[in-house]
Structure 1
Amino acid sequence: MAPPAPQSQLAARRSKLLRLIAIIILALIVLVGLVVLIIWLVVKPKGLAYDIENGSIHGFSLSDNHLNATFDFVLRAYNPNRKVAIYYDSMQVSVAYDDQTVASNGVQPFFQRHRNVTRLEVQLVAQSLLLSGPVSKDLQRERSSGKVELEVRVKARIRFKVGTWKSKHRTLRVFCLPVVHFSSHKDFGRTKCEIDL
């Protein structure tokens, strides 16, 4: 019997090499998947929760479409995780009415431990802010009713910390729609916020 042609030996070797590479890649995918699953089972990450616990408006005046007002909010940030802490490296809070931003302010960076509630007292000031005609009319109408629905927006750059490992930066966005009373004796209803991470 004649020995196989060199071409068929080459094809057989190439086929074995391709099978070996495919097996190695599949094993790596399974291994990475198992590591991720084990980490997830150990850490058991839970979603963050944000509420606005209190809100008030002071020094409100609106004339010739120019707004002056101070908006005070207590933002409650809850980290329910047992093993995940969070670095808030930067945070910007703004308040909007009818999709027009009326005031914004930054919050000092902070570190939130696991299973921790952090309350942030935020003051946002609108000073001679020019509003569009329709926005000014709507806001004046709501002012007459004694309450106004605002949108509070939070944008933060955060990192997660598990043990000694720290994640890369992620952008956290929080959206809240509190109804704020102009009269301070009215009770403020806690407002749950939506989170985009």
Structure 2
Amino acid sequence: MEDQPHQAPPPTPPPQPQGPQPIKMAPDQEKNNNINTRHMSRPNNTPRGIIICTAIILILSGITIFTLWFIYHPKNPSFTIVGAAVYALILTPSPLSSISTSMQFNILIKNPNKRVSIFYDRLTTFISYHDQTITPPFELPPVFQEKQGTVALSPVIGGGNPVPVSAEALNGLSLDVEGYGVMQLGVVVVGKLRWKIGLFTTGKKSVHVRCDVAVSVKNGSYGQVPLLPSPNSCHVNV
């Protein structure tokens, strides 16, 4: 038997160059990376959203307040002087013209509104003669007035404390008292009020009231004095 020729094995192909192999990540790490990528790519609209929501709330609040004010637009309260008393009246011409007096006035306040209540804050009252103040201001207590309600106040104003006045005012009041037995006075009330409409209460508004009255002081009579027929009107400005 003849020997078979020996065949060499086929040559081994050279190794092929390989690119970078993908790195495999654990499932939890891959999930976190995806979440971070989404957060980074999403624009931050939070400040803009807050501004838009705030603007909408302010606009709706303004519309609501305007609607309530339009529907329940309140009328001014009315003031009336229904009684008076003079407890002291001293006119001092020198060395400094001054008036010392103590008077009491009964004041009725009526609320004409059917749907609106009123808070009166920091009210003060004083008496004037020919537009000159002849008493120190007297502070009234806070008052809450129900719808269509009536409040009565009876402050004693002056307290006998002297108030400097002009010589003209002093001579005029002396002539009225001694010559005619009548004093033409102004009862002034100033302060702040708030309207209450349902659950909504407005901000404070200035109120100024002036009531012109004529009182009889004949024969030096003191105590309760009659109110003489006169316009006796009270002008209310809010």
Q: Give the TM-score band, short-chain normalised.
A: 0.7 to 0.9
SS at match of 1:115: coil
The match for 2:237 is 196
The match for 2:7 is none
Instruction: List per-residue Cα deviations over 1:63-105 (Å, max 9, x = no partner).
Output: 3233221111111110011110011121011111122111120
TM-score (norm 1): 0.75
Structure having the higher Rg? 2
The match for 2:213 is 178
Instruction: List per-residue Cα deviations over 1:36-86 (Å, max 9, x = no partner).
Output: 457533x25333211111122221121323322111111111001111001
- Are residues 1:71 and 2:111 paired? no
CA distance in 1, matches of 2:68, 2:171: 57
Indicate the RMSD between aligned Cα atoms, in angstroms: 2.3
Instruction: List per-residue Cα deviations over 1:5-30 (Å, max 9, x = no partner).
Output: xxxxxxxxxxxxxxxxxxxxxxx8xx
Distance verdict in 2 for CA 1:167–1:141, change over 3 Å: same
Q: 1:57 aligns with which of 86, 96, 105?
A: 86
TM-score (norm 2): 0.63
The match for 1:117 is 150
CA distance in 2, matches of 1:54, 1:75: 8
Query: Of the two structures, which has the highest relative contact order with CA contacts closer than 8 Å and spacing of 6 or more?
Result: 1
Confirm or deny: 8 A CA contact 1:85 1:111 kept in the other structure: yes
Runs of 5+ unmatched residues, structure 2:
1-58
Distance verdict in 2 for CA 1:75–1:135, change over 3 Å: same
Confirm or deny: 8 A CA contact 2:215 2:226 kept in the other structure: no
Amino acid at match of 2:233: K
- Are residues 1:143 and 2:210 paired? no
Higher strand share: 1
- Are residues 1:40 and 2:70 paired? yes
Amino acid at match of 2:70: W
- Are residues 1:98 and 2:98 paired? no
Runs of 5+ unmatched residues, structure 1:
1-27
Amino acid at match of 2:82: E
SS at match of 1:136: helix
Amino acid at match of 1:72: Q
